[in-house]
Amino acid sequence: MHRELSTDEEKAVIDKAANFVVKNGFGEPAAILLEVYKPLFWIGGNYALVLIEPFLPFYEDVGHQLIQTLGKIENVSILIDRIKQLMDEKETEESRKKSLQQSPGRIEKIMSHLTMLKENLFKRLK
């Protein structure tokens, strides 16, 4: 049997799982599935996770740690919140990058307009 995880270890497992899910593009489906199955965690705790266990990568003890962590309903809510937070951060970062990529085009247009204005002004002054 596995030993009980400390609160810090549970937080680390939750953060690792959330990062993995969001990094691989499964943030929304995972959050939805966890929300849907959250009532089962009250009923069956670890029994509900029997459905998930075959899909967990069992490198070292990570799979069992995740099952143990998600056996507590409050940790399921924390995981859902963390996934949503990471998805928001990712979306904000993508929006920022997109606006930065578009900025040079705007600057070039402004510079082009200023150059045309300058040329027209010089033509009128001559």
Q: Has this prediction a pTM greater than 0.85?
A: no
Are 64 and 3 a contacting pair, CB within 8 Å?
A: no
Residue-wise burial string across 5-23, b where 16 or more C-beta atoms lie within 10 A, e elsewhere: beeeebeebbeebbeebbe
Tens place of pLDDT for every residue, the chain, 126 residues?
467 889 999 999 999 999 999 999 999 999 998 888 887 766 665 565 566 666 665 556 677 787 778 878 899 999 999 999 999 999 998 888 877 666 566 667 777 777 887 787 777 776
Are 64 and 2 a contacting pair, CB within 8 Å?
A: yes
Q: How far apart are CA 58 and CA 45, in angstroms?
A: 20
Query: Residues 86-122: pLDDT tens digits?
Result: 999 999 988 888 776 665 666 677 777 778 877 877 7
